[in-house]
Structure 1
Amino acid sequence: MTGRPSPLVRALSTTVAAGALLATAACSDDGGTDGSRVPGVAASQVAGKKQPARQTPSPTATLSTDGARAALITEADIEDDWTQVKDTEAGNWHDSLLIGTVDVSGFLTAKAQAADCQRLLDSLFDDDLLGRPSGSSELRGFEQGDSRLLYQVASYDRTDPQDSLNWMAALPEKCDQFTATDDGEQRTVQVVDASLPAVGDAREAVRVTVRGTTGGTAATLTLDVAAVRVGDDAVTVTAGGLDGGEDDSVRQAAKLGTQRLKDVLAGKTPAANPSEIE
């Protein structure tokens, strides 16, 4: 995504989803779109989670555009009844509940912590959780009822994805609960730690919950967000919606997707059947 939308575009945008991926917050019982948000109380912690030193992985091939596309997961790689959507549709998923300015007054360290929380909302809306890729990047989207899953494979060969993983690791403490406002409407955002299988060179996961209103009705958007680094490349997964989070699907996508990326970087063809992966 490029830039943040103008107030007019925000007001007109009703195409929503969750990963950085994003489940629509514009769905209500009567099919309504944007609405007001409920107020919340901001609070957060100061300390961040200490991260281990970055380990240098074995040399791998440069991720090409074709390689990034081959490393994308398929419907067979995730559980339940996910259906793949057109790439152009997935690339335009935005969630209006993620638009807003973080209330700085609710933080103990004010601007520093608020900036981290603002980055979280912005990156989820813009689908660039680890920052803008410096190399090849491919997206694939899936939907299941009112939930959506966005999967990205990207190269960060001129930046360091570990820095972004360290930022993610501190979010549950720095941004445990805060308030964001857009056009006078408020919503409460909560961030909690989540877990992933031991895959890749490093990994982080969080669950983000946004409470607001849509179509005049109170609504809660829940997103499970994960990122796994393999050298200077990474996979990111964001899934969820108004029906709740999608933790199991995110864990499965991260596990099998990381193996697909490793296979591509090793010059192998990813397994067509997930059962072939140990």
Structure 2
Amino acid sequence: MLTAVLAAGTLLATAAACSDGEDGASSPSRASSTASASGVAASPVARRTTTASPDKNTLTSAGARTALITEGDLEDNWSQVTEKTAQSWEDELLIGTVDAQQFLTGKTQAADCQRLLDGLYGDDLLGRPSGASELTGFTEGDSRLLYQVAAYDRDDLDKSLDWLGSLTTECDEFTAKASDGSTRTVQVVEASLPKSGDAREGITVTVAGTSGGSKVTLTLDVAAVRVGDDAITVTNGGYDGADHDSTKDAVSHGTTRLKDVREGRTPAPEPSEFD
């Protein structure tokens, strides 16, 4: 019996060597070599079904929720609202049709400016997320701060950031007509942001028009920061202006939280003074 087992082991090892020599395949793994040498054939099915470990940086819904900022990440007296409340924030002053005739390049610039208004109203400035997406909101007096974390297709995300950065030139000042015939005047200027994340863009948008028969001006800080294939988006402001410091806090501390989540760490409950 022992002679038969040894002979079988020799035949298996010889067959494996001949096979490698005939098809030019690379050497088997150390585990497969050991199995052949001991007379036990390695399972080809096991080798075919072996897959790489999931990317630890893939953002999950739970991870996106953990990456959301809290009241502790913002200075002053911001109060967090429910997700349902934050999702319902839609300012009608942002609804309007941009007239292409006011631009040098006509339809191209008008489309960019229309996309800005529609994106601000629908909270999807960076486009549709390709994966997990979560949001939260905060209020302070009449001001609102909407904060989003989402996973995107990398190429689409980079294009959206480039588009956002171009708006200070393409849409520096334009008008849009509301359904009642009234006109909104919109201005877009650059907003400075902390050097957070892998890429970032910030603008401040003011929309002057009429609401409830009264003249009003809506001012919004808009910030977007890319971290790998994920991004945070901040929209902050109201009819009394925008608190730029709160926007910067949300960007700085939010980027740190998202980095922690992507690297498998639990974000600190309170931001560090060194962030």
Off by >6 Å, runs of 4+ in structure 1: none
Query: % of aligned pairs identical?
Result: 64
Q: Residue 22 of structure 2 corresponds to which residue in structure 1?
A: none
Q: Residue 128 of structure 2 corresponds to which residue in structure 1?
A: 132
1:234 and 2:264 matched:
no
In structure 2, C-alpha distance between the alignment counterparts of 1:232 and 1:60, rounded to whole Å: 12
Deviation, 1:214, is 1.3
Map residues 36-115 of structure 1 onto 2, 5 A cutoff: 61-115=57-111
Q: 1:116 aligns with which of 112, 116, 122?
A: 112
Aligned residues: 220
Whichever residue aligns with residue 94 of structure 2, its letter is L
In structure 2, C-alpha distance between the alignment counterparts of 1:190 and 1:182, rounded to whole Å: 16
Map residues 1-278 of structure 1 onto 2, 5 A cutoff: 61-157=57-153, 160-183=156-179, 184-275=181-272, 278=275
Q: Which structure 1 segments of 5+ residues have no match? A: 1-58
Deviation, 1:158, is 6.5
3-state DSSP of counterpart to 2:265 = coil
Deviation, 1:159, is 5.2
In structure 2, C-alpha distance between the alignment counterparts of 1:195 and 1:60, rounded to whole Å: 32
Deviation, 1:121, is 0.3
3-state DSSP of counterpart to 2:68 = coil
3-state DSSP of counterpart to 1:263 = helix
Q: Residue 4 of structure 1 corresponds to which residue in structure 2?
A: none
Whichever residue aligns with residue 95 of structure 1, its letter is D
Q: Residue 20 of structure 1 corresponds to which residue in structure 2?
A: none
3-state DSSP of counterpart to 2:248 = helix
C-alpha change, 1:161 and 1:60, in structure 2 (3 Å) is: farther
In structure 1, C-alpha distance between the alignment counterparts of 2:215 and 2:123, rounded to whole Å: 25
Counterpart contact for 1:223–1:246, Cα < 8 Å: no
Whichever residue aligns with residue 194 of structure 2, its letter is P
C-alpha change, 1:91 and 1:214, in structure 2 (3 Å) is: same
Q: Which structure 2 segments of 5+ residues have no match? A: 1-54
Whichever residue aligns with residue 214 of structure 1, its letter is S
Whichever residue aligns with residue 218 of structure 2, its letter is L
Bigger CA radius of gyration = 2
RCO (CA 8 Å, sep 6+): is it higher in 1 or 2? 1
TM-score by length of 2: 0.78
3-state DSSP of counterpart to 2:196 = coil
TM-score by length of 1: 0.77
